[in-house]
A and B are shown apart, each in its own frame.
Chain A
Amino acid sequence: MTENSELADIPDKDVLAEIDAVDELPTAPPKRRVKLSWLGKVSAAIVVFWLVICLIGPSIAPFHEMDIDGDDGFMGYHTNEYGTFYLGTDYLGRDTLSRVIYGARNTIGISLASTFLAYLIGITLGILAAVKGGWIDMGISRVNDAILALPTIMLGLIAIAWLGSSIPVLVGTASIIYASSVFRIARALGQDIMVQDFVEAAKARGEGAWWIIRSEVLPNAAMPLATDFGLRLVFVVLFISSLSFLGLGVQPPAADWGSMVRENLQGLPYGSYAAIWPALAIAAFTIPINLIVDDVSAKSGGSLASKMV
Chain B
Amino acid sequence: MMTKMVLRRVAIGFATLIVVSIIVFVMTSILPGDVAQIILGQSATPETLAALRKELGMDQPGYVRYFQWLGNMATGDLGISKAGGATIESLISGRLGNTMVMSGLVAVISIPISIALGLWAAMHPGALLDRIVTFGTLSLISVPEFFIATILVLILAVELHWLPSTAYLTGEETFLELLRALAMPLITLVIVVSAQMIRMTRAGILNVMSSPYIEMAILKGVPRRRIILRHAFFNAIGPIVNVIALNLAYLVSGVVVVETIFSYPGLAKLMIDGVQTRDLPLVQACAMIFCSTYVLLILLADVASIMSNPRLRNPK
Contacts and interface: CB of A to CB of B under 8 A. Distances in A.
A291 B131 CA distance: 13
A72 interface: no
Using C-beta atoms within 8 Å of the partner chain, give the interface range for chain A: 35 or more
A282 B260 contact: no
B256 A246 contact: yes
Interface in A213-261: 234, 238, 241-242, 245-248, 258, 261
Interface in A122-157: 145-146, 149-154, 157
Contacts of A199: none
Contacts of B24: 158
Contacts, number: 145
Given A145-B16, A151-B253, A246-B260, A162 B138 contact: no
A294 B139 CA distance: 11
B165 A158 contact: no
A150 B150 contact: no
Given A150-B23, A279-B147, 12 more contacts: A146-B16, A150-B20, A151-B290, A157-B256, A161-B275, A164-B278, A265-B261, A269-B158, A282-B143, A282-B144, A291-B138, A305-B200
B294 interface: yes
A283 B253 contact: no
A41 B237 CA distance: 37
Contacts of B151: 276, 279
Interface of A: 145-146, 149-154, 157-162, 164, 234, 238, 241-242, 245-248, 258, 261-262, 265, 268-269, 271, 275-276, 279, 282-283, 286-287, 289-291, 294, 303-306, 308-309
B271 A157 contact: yes
- Please report whether the interface of chain A is mostly helix, strand, loop or mixed according to DSSP: helix
Contact of A306 (B23, B28, B154, B203): B203
B31 interface: yes
Nearest to B22: A146
Contacts of B157: 268-269
Interface in B22-56: 23-24, 27-28, 31
Contact of B143 (A158, A287, A303, A304): A287
Contact of A238 (B144, B153, B276, B280): B144
B99 interface: no
Contacts of B165: 268-269
A234 B139 CA distance: 12
A289 B142 CA distance: 9
Nearest to A146: B19
Interface string B95-130: 000000000000000000000000000000000000
Contacts of A261: 146-147, 150
A150 B22 CA distance: 13
B154 A276 contact: yes
Contacts of B214: none
B308 to A, nearest CB: 16
Contacts of A162: 27-28, 31
Contacts of B253: 151-154, 242
A152 B145 CA distance: 14
A161 B250 CA distance: 21
A161 B20 contact: no
A265 B151 CA distance: 11
13 contacts: A151-B250, A151-B294, A159-B27, A161-B28, A162-B28, A245-B257, A245-B261, A261-B146, A276-B150, A286-B142, A286-B143, A289-B142, A305-B202
A268 B139 contact: no
A269 B272 CA distance: 24
Given A294-B138, A305-B199, A305-B202, A158 B16 contact: no
Contacts of B143: 238, 279, 282-283, 286-287
Interface string B1-22: 0000000000000001001100
Contacts of A303: 203
